[in-house]
Structure 1
Amino acid sequence: MRVLLNVNGISQYSSAVRAEYQNSACGPTTAHVILNYLNKDEALPTKDINELYKFLGGTKIGLFKWRMIRNLRRLLGENWCIEECTLTEAIQQLRAGNPVAIKFDAYFTGQFFSKKKPMFDYHWVPLIGYEIKNNELYLIIHDNGGRHRDSQIRSFNYDDNRKVLSFVKIEPIAGTLHSN
């Protein structure tokens, strides 16, 4: 089985992102990509990545999950459910057509000395799909790019990264947006 949403990724290193924000703009970039995808009807208040960096509370060491949740709730209002979710809920969100914010965090989960190296040590990315191959779950993301590189769609084995992952759903409450 495979689900892949047609999400347009953006590099956090694009010229549209202020140079001093670029190294730590993965959280605001992830939120921007997801909100743009969900905003097909222009029913959402949108901000550019620089505005989101400030509004969400980005710092030089990144964006804390609790800040992303709290400040997206402030931005989007009561017609939205923004909360941490499980892998099962993230898969349900993808099936419903909603990308999910996924955070890799080897530092604050105590996994930085793990023998298995995660795909990223500390990074937010949009989760845009999943695939089951040989009875193993692979998650599909936009990686938010790199210096001089656009965002790319990448796939990784969930089990190899599961200890460092957390998910945040950004879901319109039924009837608040038209179907994607």
Structure 2
Amino acid sequence: MSKYIEVKGKSQYDHDIEPRYRPSACGPVTAYVLLRHFFPAEQTPSINELYKTLGSTKIGLPTWRFVRRLNQLLGPLWNVEICTAQQAIEQIDEDRPVAVKFDKWFKFKWCSRFSFDYHWVVMVGYEYVDNHLHVLVHDHGGRNSASRVRSIPFEPNKKILTFVKIELLER
């Protein structure tokens, strides 16, 4: 079983992002890609605006702040909250991408190896490889690499993963 949602990715090192924000812009870029999925491009704030609005810093964007400030930005018709891996898969099945944070440092898993040490990405799907869950994430690129979709094994990374879903509330 697998599922993939096509989203338009963005590199956190693109020229339209303030140079001083680029090394720590993965959280705002994740929010930007998600918002662009739910809203027309002209209604989506720029990454530079999101960097300030979400309260990003040079050392990153805490999950609680990402959730709280995105809830404030979207208003009462939307719900942004932390979810489980299973709930994230359910979101994908409903064609809603999910924010994913890899956080080795603040989860105190310093001595282990993970796909990322600290990074926000957009979950755009999942697949099973040899009966093992892999999350498909849109990585935001690097100084010399474009954004791209990567298949990340869930099991070796699960200790440092946090999933955040965004849903329109029932009216």
Pick the TM interval, shorter chain. Answer: over 0.9
1:36 shift after superposition: 0.3
Report what 2:108 is aligned to: 110
Report what 1:29 is aligned to: 29
- TM-score, normalisation: structure 2: 0.96
1:110 shift after superposition: 1.1
For structure 2, list consecutive stretches of 5 or more residues without a partner in the other structure: none
- Code of the aligned partner of 1:14: D
Query: 1:90 is paired with a residue of what secondary structure?
Result: helix
Report what 1:166 is aligned to: 162
Find the aligned partners of 1:21 and 1:113 in 2 and give their Cα distance: 28
2:49 to 43, 48, 51: 51
Q: Does 1:17 align with 2:14?
A: no
Report what 2:131 is aligned to: 135
- TM-score, normalisation: structure 1: 0.92
Find the aligned partners of 2:170 and 2:125 in 1 and give their Cα distance: 21
Find the aligned partners of 2:134 and 2:33 in 1 and give their Cα distance: 21
Aligned structure 1 segments of 4 or more residues deviating by more than 3 angstroms: none
For structure 1, list consecutive stretches of 5 or more residues without a partner in the other structure: 176-180
Report what 2:121 is aligned to: 125
Encode CA deviations 1:67-99: one digit per residue, 9 max, x unaligned.
111100110001111000000110010001110
How big is the alpha-carbon RMSD for the aligned residues of Structure 1 and Structure 2?
1.3
- Code of the aligned partner of 2:47: I
Report if the CA contact (8 A) 1:45-1:76 is conserved.
Answer: no
Identity of aligned residues (%): 46
Find the aligned partners of 2:110 and 2:68 in 1 and give their Cα distance: 27
